[in-house]
């Protein structure tokens, strides 16, 4: 069923587009080249309500909902994919608090996360636990007034700038998903530090780091939800997060197509614009079709979330299809640029590197297929 946008959703999309074109796009290439994390722009996005879009107004968020979030994130990604992954993770980091937090935790953190005063991150991945959270080794031991945490998280988006970490840790002796719990960690807690930064292929303005916990003391009141609910909390957060990554991929794909169309109209070979060749036209037709299908899948998942009905299957479908589409579109757009596409002179080279991560994080394409098949087969 088509998703009709209301006046507020259109207004939010335009506001995000205006911000992104003025504040992000002119700087995106330099930030990427110099690996500059755009902290000032991120704080401004908080001021515009873009970091707490699922947070209701009574907790200081914009309460704009998932469809608006998806539209706004696309516009941010179109201009700067690195900033878009931060917007996605910042919004994701409010979900565990919203769904599982105590009233005191919501009061303490939510409005400050939504306004951008605090930046939140999400720490699940470890060296031995990527697709399989059941292999998590970071351990939190109950010491009465506090939990004592030891272990390492890796690949944590904007972990070096985050004020608050949603941490998933093992709290029992069992292996697998059962003994995991979630905690809220503040950056000043003793024993918590930021480790090495990844030197990545793309999204180089996004700060991807290791988080180190050495006898880190987390106060008892910072347990999020109930003991043993960590896996459920992480998967709930990732369902929403996948709508974000689908939107990010869509924004990148749209930018790639626009670059390809512009270049194909300008570039002349055999006495004609290359856009007159059917081979080029077919690539552009495939790009436009893939992007439209990804847009509809992503909006449909977002609408289900806004309606409060289950959306796990739709979020995984949207993430799978949009991210695979973004990669296909990026490589076709690069192909249309010929040799120039393979140089740093043209934007498509950066967009193709940025697109690559979208089929990997928040569950690889293979993991999305596992989720979708499980939902379809009910196994």
Ligand X SMILES: Cc1cc2nc3c(=O)[nH]c(=O)nc-3n(C[C@H](O)[C@H](O)[C@H](O)COP(=O)(O)OP(=O)(O)OC[C@H]3O[C@@H](n4cnc5c(N)ncnc54)[C@H](O)[C@@H]3O)c2cc1C
Beta carbon nearer to ligand X, 179 or 362: 362
Nearer to ligand X, 131 or 343 (CB): 131
Residue 124 makes contact with ligand X by CB under 6 A: yes
Interface pick for ligand X out of 27, 35, 36, 125 (rule CB under 6 A): 125
The sign one gets for the Cα dihedral 66, 71, 74, 80 is negative
Using CB under 6 A as the binding rule, whether residue 360 contacts ligand X is answered as yes
- Quick one: which segment of 176-184, 185-193, 311-319, 359-367 binds ligand X (CB under 6 A)? 359-367
Which of 37, 155, 231, 311 binds ligand X (CB under 6 A)? It is 155
Q: Which residues contact 187 (CB under 8 A, 6 or more apart)?
A: 162, 163, 164, 165
| Residue of the chain from 5, 15, 25, 130 that contacts ligand X (CB under 6 A) | 130
**Position with the least CB separation from ligand X:** 130
Q: Give the span between the Cα atoms of 171 and 75, in whole angstroms.
A: 40
Applying CB under 6 A, among 123, 256, 315, 372 the residue interacting with ligand X is 123
Q: Which stretch binds ligand X (CB under 6 A): 116-124, 143-151, 183-191, 276-284?
A: 116-124
User: Which residues are designated catalytic?
Assistant: 362
Question: Helices H, strands E: what count in the chain?
Answer: 13, 10
Q: Binding residue for ligand X (CB under 6 A) from 98, 245, 255, 357?
A: 357
Q: Which is nearer to ligand X, 53 or 167 (CB)?
A: 167
Counting contacts by CB under 6 A, is residue 361 touching ligand X?
Answer: yes
Distance CA 34, CA 110 (A): 32
Asked if 193 touches ligand X (CB under 6 A), the answer is: no
CA distance 268 to 370: 45
Residue 191 interacts with ligand X (CB under 6 A): yes or no: no
CA distance 316 to 362: 10
Q: Are strands 146-157 and 208-219 parallel, antiparallel or unpaired?
A: antiparallel
The residue among 184 and 283 lying less far from ligand X, judged by its C-beta, is 184
CB 363 to ligand X: min, Å: 6
- From candidates 100, 109, 122, 192, binder to ligand X by CB under 6 A: 122
Interface with ligand X includes 366 (CB under 6 A)? yes
Residues 68-97 that bind ligand X (CB under 6 A): 89
First to last CA, the chain: 27
Output 224 or 283, the one with its CB closest to ligand X: 224
What's the sign of the alpha-carbon dihedral 347, 350, 355, 356? positive
Given the complex with ligand X, which of 31 and 122 has the nearer CB atom?
A: 122
Alpha-carbon separation of residue 51 from 14, 73, 92, 119 (angstroms): 16, 10, 9, 9
- Angle among Cα 305, 237, 169 to the nearest 5 degrees reads 165
- Among candidate residues 61, 87, 92, 53, the one with its CA nearest the CA of residue 73: 87
CA–CA separation, 323 vs 147, rounded Å? 38
Residue 259 near residue 348, CB atoms below 8 Å: yes
Please report, as residue ranges, which positions from 230 to 289 form the binding site for ligand X (by CB under 6 A).
none
Among 57, 102, 131, 289, binds ligand X (CB under 6 A): 131
Q: Least distance to ligand X from the beta carbon of 202, Å?
A: 8
> Can you tell me which of 55, 79, 165, 203 binds ligand X, judged by CB under 6 A?
203
Helix, strand, coil distribution of the chain in percent, nearest 5: 55, 15, 25
Q: Which residues would be at the binding site for ligand X (CB under 6 A)? A: 89, 121-125, 130-131, 155-157, 200, 203, 208, 357, 360-364, 366-367
């Amino acid at each position: 069923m088509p998703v009709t946008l209301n006046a507020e959703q259109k207004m939010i999309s335009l506001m995000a587009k205006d911000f992104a074109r003025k504040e992000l796009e002119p700087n995106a290439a330099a930030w990427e080249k110099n690996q500059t994390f755009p902290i000032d722009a991120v704080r401004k996005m908080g001021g515009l309500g873009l970091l707490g879009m699922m947070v209701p107004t009574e907790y200081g968020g914009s309460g704009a909902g998932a469809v608006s979030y998806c539209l706004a994130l696309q516009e941010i990604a179109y201009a700067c994919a690195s900033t878009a992954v931060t917007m996605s993770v910042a919004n994701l980091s409010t979900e565990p608090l919203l769904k599982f937090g105590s009233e005191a935790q919501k009061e303490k953190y939510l409005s400050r996360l939504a306004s951008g005063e605090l930046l939140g991150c999400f720490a699940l991945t470890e060296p031995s636990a990527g697709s399989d959270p059941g292999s998590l080794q970071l351990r939190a031991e109950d010491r009465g007034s506090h939990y004592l945490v030891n272990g390492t998280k890796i690949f944590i988006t904007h972990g070096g700038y985050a004020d608050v970490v949603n941490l998933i840790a093992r709290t029992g002796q069992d292996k697998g998903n059962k003994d995991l719990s979630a905690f809220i960690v503040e950056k000043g807690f003793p024993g918590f530090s930021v480790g090495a930064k990844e030197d990545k292929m793309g999204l180089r303005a996004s700060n991807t780091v290791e988080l180190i916990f050495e006898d880190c003391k987390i106060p008892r009141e910072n347990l999020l939800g109930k003991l043993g609910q960590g896996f459920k909390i992480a998967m709930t957060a990732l369902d929403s997060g996948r709508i974000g990554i689908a939107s990010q991929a869509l924004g990148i794909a749209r930018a790639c197509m626009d670059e390809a169309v512009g270049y194909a109209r300008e570039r002349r070979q055999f006495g004609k614009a290359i856009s007159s060749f059917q081979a080029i036209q077919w690539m552009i037709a495939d790009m436009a079709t893939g992007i439209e299908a990804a847009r509809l899948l992503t909006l449909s998942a977002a609408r289900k979330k806004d309606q409060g009905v289950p959306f796990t299957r739709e979020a995984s479908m949207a993430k799978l299809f949009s991210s695979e589409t973004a990669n296909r579109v990026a490589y076709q757009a690069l192909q249309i640029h010929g040799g120039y596409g393979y140089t740093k002179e043209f934007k498509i080279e950066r967009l193709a590197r940025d697109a690559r991560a979208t089929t990997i994080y928040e569950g690889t394409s293979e993991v999305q297929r596992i989720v979708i098949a499980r939902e379809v087969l009910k196994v």
